[in-house]
Amino acid sequence: MARLEFFVVSESCAIDAQTNRLSVFNVLESVAAPAFPTLLASLAIVAVWNAEPGDETRDFQASALIHTEPAQRFDINFKLEKPRARTIVQLQGLPIQAAGTVRFEMLLNGEHKADHIVTAEIVPLVASPVH
């Protein structure tokens, strides 16, 4: 079965049209907000899969789960016609309801493969001194 090379959650990603290189921007490790609920403007959930012998004839379903209230699930069907495949979920406006942790989970054909944990914390706004 396909093997997960890496799984990361970031603010955005890009694929170069000429080289097919993947760039991931601003890996999400924490969310700092003056209050909750808050909204993450954009999000990219990226997974890279390596093929194993026999995978070229199989269909796979990657599932990105976001354990928030309410939980969200995004399914991506793919084939490994080459030695490596990418699955990318791009979102706009992810609500975070409360401070704590947000767990992003990656499944392959229903089997847990990895977690990405993000800390959501209250950070008070600091007023700029007036001169």
Residue 128 belongs to a domain: no
Average pLDDT over residues 12-36: 96
The pTM of the whole model exceeds 0.75:
yes
Residue 75 belongs to a domain: yes
Give me the pLDDT at residue 131, please: 65
Give me the pLDDT at residue 124, please: 84
pLDDT in tens, 83-101: 999 999 999 999 999 999 9
Residue 47 belongs to a domain: yes
Q: In this structure, which amino acid lies at residue 122?
A: I
Dist. CA 77–CA 24, nearest whole Å: 22
Q: Print the domain residue range for 20.
A: 3-122
What's the mean per-residue pLDDT of the chain? 94
- CATH number, domain at 38? 2.60.40.10
8 Å CB contact between 40 and 94: yes
Q: What's the domain count of the chain?
A: 1
Residue 131 belongs to a domain: no
Return the structure tokens found at 12. Answer: 């955005």
Dist. CA 44–CA 24, nearest whole Å: 8
pLDDT category of residue 115 using cuts at 50, 70 and 90: very high
Give me the pLDDT at residue 126, please: 72
Strands 22-27 and 3-15: antiparallel
Give me the pLDDT at residue 69, please: 85
- Inter-CA distances, 89 with 33, 97, 121, Å: 24, 21, 24
Q: How far is CA 114 from the centre of its chain?
A: 11
